[in-house]
Amino acid sequence: MFRITLPDGSVREVAPGTTPADIAAAIGPGLAKAAIAARVDGELRDVMRPFEGDAHLALVTAKDEADALELARHDYAHVLAEAVQNLFPGTQITFGPSTDDGFYYDFAPKDRPFTDEDLPAIEQAMREVIARNEPLVREVWQRDDLIALWKKQGETFKAEWAAELPEGEELTVYRAGTWLDMCRGPHLASTGKLDPQAFKLTRVSGAYWRGDQNNAMLSRIYGTGWLNKKQLDEHLHRLEEAAKRDHRKIGQEMDLFHLQSEAQGSVFWHPKGYIMWRQLEAYMRRKLDAAGYREVKTPQLMDVRQWEASGHWGKYRENMFAVPDEVPNADDNAPVLSGKADLMALKPMNCPAHILIFRQGIKSYRDLPIRMAEFGCCHRNEPHGALHGIMRVRQFTQDDAHIFCRADQVIEEVRMFCDLLDGIYKDLGFETYSIKLALRPDQRFGSDDMWDMAEQELRDAVRAAGRDTPEFGWEELPGEGAFYAPKLEFHLTDAIGRTWQCGTIQADTVLPDRLDASYVGADGERHRPVMLHRAILGTFERFLGILIEHHAGRFPLWLAPVQAVVATIVSDADDYAGDVAAKLAAAGLRVETDLRNEKINYKVREHSLAKVPNLLVVGKREAEEGTVALRQLGSERQQVLGLDEAIAMLKKGATPPDL
């Protein structure tokens, strides 16, 4: 008999062959119906898979949304593959994983690539598969038998993949009726557990077999899948809102920036967009000055030997831009590493350069902490397919800083950083964010003791800041730390519920050791500082893109590129409009005039589309009375105010939140 321990501590003895579904049925019919999967000793498994020995069991229901969604999306991918092969005989299947909001599957069509026009018919075929309520049965196959089956069925891609798996590895197949696919699982008990109205196929694209452009081109069909139609409708609404808020669309409408092929992955900032950049930069500089940071500026080009010493060359070489160095190295005693004495590299990050500044002169324990900040321009050779507007670029500016401190100062410095970040996010309109602790990856520098200490210090700092609570979405992420340090990640939630990882802080003792940074301690001996790598915005480009989409172009007045437009009703008011604009500008407001011979309704509509926050309409009466008719963006009504009163009101709203 097997001993199965339930979450409440109770133990059930069951015979071999018993499944989690059997235990759910023994507990009660309601649970038997609700159970969709099981966690057996922490591993997510099919509810119909028999126990293999003593185990701890937790039954999974739709209330366990993360697990339930992953299972459903995986099942939708299998249903998609079965439906496509039913509709288009001769199509070969490859892979079909779940994604963050749905699923996709790659196919090798027999006759022609699939197109978006095929999607409605495929959706209907998927609903037919779901309606048949086919059990999803896990089977274990011998490797050679499975390869032979795939070859017999003409599934050359599956046969190739199976042949590359290690001999002796357990190969599992899931069968739905007569259709089957190689898969690790787990799955729901049957296709009928899916809601036929809770998915939608979204698009078709090309994809190379195994991501290699030298291999066959496949047709990739994407879909979004959910637990019920309400969730699907909410997701589709979010997508619709996201399309309206797309920073590329709004950036063009508001004349903020553009991108073009002559500078792939770099941004051409227009005057209005650069005004926003400068406002954000000035705000951040004031916050950093007040928090005790010292701003520096470091070179963009550095000898490759420096990047080898730091470890970045070995880890990120494919993403770094290297250029020949035509100037002989003045330091004849400099070590030549790997024969790269004639190469320079554009910096992908600022940290090694900051250590070189720290190393200038002798540092005492009394000098620490040193908070060194830089709005540093960096370059990374991102693949073309990864570039996305101003959110993912090759040239970017980080709001980067490094805190060099003693080990006994780490917790307090991280706590202070959490408070600084909290105030900045709230000033910029983000009330909600979550905090994640990314733990050691498999490939890393440093000892286990070092990692144990660094991870615990970050936990203690978040606790000291009062933010290790469900309110802040506190979560630990195994394996997701940097190669040299664990890190705290700060994930913003925007106006339509999307999350963006922006802020980060990492406690690092590896890089100071590799680059020989030290200070003189109270004992007169040399010690390594702890180096806290930290950013709040991440990069200016990406954060401005997030701001554009979060506010849908309707920025807080202090950040808006044009804060007011003075528009005339009749040409007789042109001189007065000029006087109004001059007084607004003298008060520090960014103002333009619209003196065109157009109807005022046309002007109102046009400036509303351009997201101008304040429109001051003037005509003969306003000129005679010294007033303005103020229309604020999003309001259907206007206020008639004295000019001085209007200026005072706008000036107050245009003041940055920290002033």
Catalytic residues: 351, 380, 398, 400, 402, 487, 533
**Alpha-carbon gap, residue 97 to 392, rounded angstroms:** 24
CB contact at 8 A, 76 and 130:
no
pLDDT of residue 327: 62
Q: Is 402 annotated as a binding residue?
A: yes
Residue 328 has pLDDT above 60, yes or no: no
Residue 330 has pLDDT above 60, yes or no: no
Would 503 be classed as within a structural domain?
yes
Q: Which residue has the tokens 């969604």?
A: 69
pLDDT of residue 213: 85
Looking up residue 573, the CATH number of its domain turns out to be 3.40.50.800
pLDDT of residue 520: 97
Q: What sign does the CA torsion over 478, 484, 488, 493 have?
A: negative
Does residue 222 come out as left (phi exceeding 0), alpha (psi in the -120 to 50 range) or beta? beta
pLDDT bin (cut points 50, 70, 90) of residue 598 is very high
Q: Does residue 72 share a domain with residue 44?
A: no
Q: Does residue 376 share a domain with residue 274?
A: yes
pLDDT of residue 388: 93
**Alpha-carbon gap, residue 546 to 567, rounded angstroms:** 31
CB contact at 8 A, 223 and 202:
yes
Would 306 be classed as within a structural domain?
no
Would 348 be classed as within a structural domain?
no
Q: Is 351 annotated as a binding residue?
A: yes
**Alpha-carbon gap, residue 256 to 390, rounded angstroms:** 11
Q: Are strands 257-258 and 268-269 parallel, antiparallel or unpaired?
A: antiparallel
CB atoms within 10 A of CB 167: 7
What are 505's two structure tokens?
């802080």
Q: Are strands 322-324 and 370-379 parallel, antiparallel or unpaired?
A: unpaired
Residue 514 has pLDDT above 50, yes or no: yes
Q: Is 78 annotated as a binding residue?
A: no
pLDDT of residue 331: 54
Domain hosting residue 81, numbered range:
66-237
pLDDT of residue 341: 55
Q: Does residue 211 share a domain with residue 91?
A: yes
Q: Does residue 533 share a domain with residue 402?
A: yes
What pTM, to 2 d.p., does this model score? 0.81
Q: Are strands 564-568 and 530-539 parallel, antiparallel or unpaired?
A: unpaired
Q: Does residue 631 share a domain with residue 503?
A: no
- Which residues partner with 57 through β-bridges? 40
Number of domains in the chain: 4
Would 308 be classed as within a structural domain?
no
Give the tens place of pLDDT for each residue, 86-114: 999 999 999 999 998 999 999 999 989 99
Which of 534, 561, 502 is closest to 271 using CA atoms?
561
Would 193 be classed as within a structural domain?
yes
Give the tens place of pLDDT for each residue, 534-554: 999 999 999 999 999 999 999
For residue 351, give every residue at least 6 positions away whose Cβ sits within 8 Å of its Cβ, in sequence order, or none: 310, 400, 402, 511, 531, 533
**Alpha-carbon gap, residue 89 to 246, rounded angstroms:** 39
Q: Which residue has the tokens 């030997």?
A: 305
**Alpha-carbon gap, residue 537 to 421, rounded angstroms:** 9
Give the tens place of pLDDT for each residue, 554-575: 999 999 999 999 999 999 999 9
In this structure, the chain runs to a length of: 659
Give the tens place of pLDDT for each residue, 274-287: 999 999 999 999 99
Residue type, 463: R
Give the tens place of pLDDT for each residue, 370-399: 999 999 999 999 888 789 999 999 999 999
